[in-house]
Amino acid sequence: MPDYKAPLRDTRFLIDDVFDFHGSYAALGAGDATPDMVAAILEEGAKFCEQVLAPLNRSGDEQECQFNNGVVTTPKGFKEAFAQYVEGGWNGLAADPAYGGQGLPHSLGLLISEMVGTSNTSWGMYPGLTHGAMSAIHAHGSEEQKQTYLTPLTEGRWTGTMCLTEAHCGTDLGLIKTRAVPQADGSYSISGSKIFISAGEHDMSENIVHLVLAKLPDAPAGTRGISLFIVPKFLPDTAGQVGARNAVSCGSIEHKMGIKASATCVINFDSASGYLIGEANKGLNCMFTMMNHARLGTGMQGLCLGEASFQGALKYANERLQMRALSGPKAPEKAADPIIVHPDVRRMLLTMKAFNEGNRALAYFTAQLLDQAHRSDSAEQRDEAENLLAFLTPICKAFMTETGLEVTNQGMQVLGGHGYIREWGMEQLVRDCRIALIYEGTNGIQALDLLGRKVLGSQGKLLRGFSKIVHKFCEAQVDHPQLKEHVDQLAVLNKQWGELTQKIGVAALQNPDEVGAASMDYLMYSGYVTLAYFWLRMAVVAQHKLEAGTGEAAFYQAKLATCAFYFKRLLPRTAAHLAAAEAGSACMMSLPAEHFGL
């Protein structure tokens, strides 16, 4: 298993030099998040992830979660690591101080989540789902519900889940059958079964708070009739402590390709006591608070697993001796050259590095928007941040996981046959990453959301909100002496982005299938252009640092070299996605279903 080392230098580059987190914190009134405090939090978080979580990654994959008569046991060391995590205050880092949190910016919590997810993705699922549940209760719960649930969730004594999917329906939540019957005491009797519930049952906390989608007896059909309920595993007593067992049980856990140490459960509700959160029949609106949190977290998993894979591949490529360089020996004193000298190995490593560092910049920019949306005193700034988040969330979820899977596959390939062998740990990263393209809304659904709802549904407003940022940046850098070629390339693609959108929109007026046919290629095109913008932002800063004189010239030169690789070897993929998106739906919709085969 690759040894994990938190990429703190790259993190500092982004938060200090590219995005100026500290200036943003000051402007948003987050004065407690001083540079010294942020540095200390990152250092301590890195130690916890490197020394506590990373050593449990492979053993967790091998032991898996165990299910016995409704009881789920997590792998050895998981429960103790969670207790240490809670004791260190990490669970409440960005939570509301009114309920025991530290009140630090959401972006700082995301930096820690990245390290957690890279060191041990399965383990990170447990606190990750809890943070989503806390967000939904904080945004939509009554004051009584907040007082009852947020403090123990913040303290880590209780954990949370989101219960959406049922066996007969996945994304189409309008088909759910779970029912909620009003009771005389104001509670609801919840009956039904949910599947694929991450962290739905485990031994790491004293209670589990389920957020459950269900329908009232008189609910309208479809998604307009969905309500959201808090259904705890144990009912809170009058003192807010764990009380009587609720009628909630785990029917089984799934045997999965990856993230095997994360319990994926069938949860049964047999007339369980539940409590309406938010308005009746408006549950999907409430759940989207949690779902968007989860989608950003899932996108981060692509980055996290890609980073772990890159670290393992880079170490191997520097040590593995194989053949001589085509241009002559590079290590003549050795029996052969390290494989990092070979162009194809460099292609794989640079692809990994370019996607990881570009995705990290995208994630941190999105995290900064979360801070602005939650903390800004300006309604205009909050609205702008929310619109950018709405636009970027499906890109984060889908593009970061698609490229994350490519990166983990490349990492396994760098090791050749050893990458396919379990003890090297590289194949686990591929298996763990594969689910990220599927859950929290498949990437096809994210693509439909981006093109259909966010872009065409807003008459292009959300796209223009981001493309104007790119346009202004290109205008400001149009005469950049070293980077002008890349600036011009980005400006052309940014203009083309709007033209492609208009073309699809016009075609969709005649045939709505045009949106579904183009959506995935449209999303990938959008992702490549988005990363190009962030790579240029990083390159401009790196060039400035080099010209100003620095003792870290190699670090900044690596940024410029990787940026050049991205623009020359990866960004041209936009041409293929453009051609495919413009090809229309006829070639995929004309074949009758009965003629596909068999």
Which residues are designated catalytic?
Answer: 440
Burial class (CB in 10 A: 0-12, 13-18, 19+), 431: middle
Asked if residues 465 and 391 have their Cβ atoms less than 8 Å apart, the reply is yes
3-state secondary structure of 230: strand
| Phi, then psi, of 128 in degrees rounded to 5 | -60, -45
Task: Quote the tokens at residue 67.
Answer: 């299910």
Task: Quote the tokens at residue 445.
Answer: 């659904």
Q: Tell me how far apart the alpha carbons of residues 454 and 463 are, in angstroms, rounded to a whole number.
A: 8
Task: Quote the tokens at residue 114.
Answer: 């990245």
Nearest in space to 56 (alpha carbons), one of 315, 260, 196: 260
Q: In Å, how far are 44, 120, 153, 425 from 4, measured between CA atoms?
A: 15, 10, 29, 12
Nearest in space to 202 (alpha carbons), one of 85, 63, 73, 59: 73
In DSSP terms, 535 is beta-bridged to none
Task: Quote the tokens at residue 439.
Answer: 């859950």
Q: Tell me how far apart the alpha carbons of residues 169 and 321 are, in angstroms, rounded to a whole number.
A: 51
The answer for residues whose C-beta is within 8 angstroms of residue 596's C-beta and 6 or more apart is none
Asked if residues 121 and 127 have their Cβ atoms less than 8 Å apart, the reply is no
The answer for residues whose C-beta is within 8 angstroms of residue 477's C-beta and 6 or more apart is 483, 484, 487, 536, 540
Q: How crowded is residue 47: how many other Cβ atoms within 10 Å of its Cβ? A: 13
Element (H, E) at 528: helix 513-548
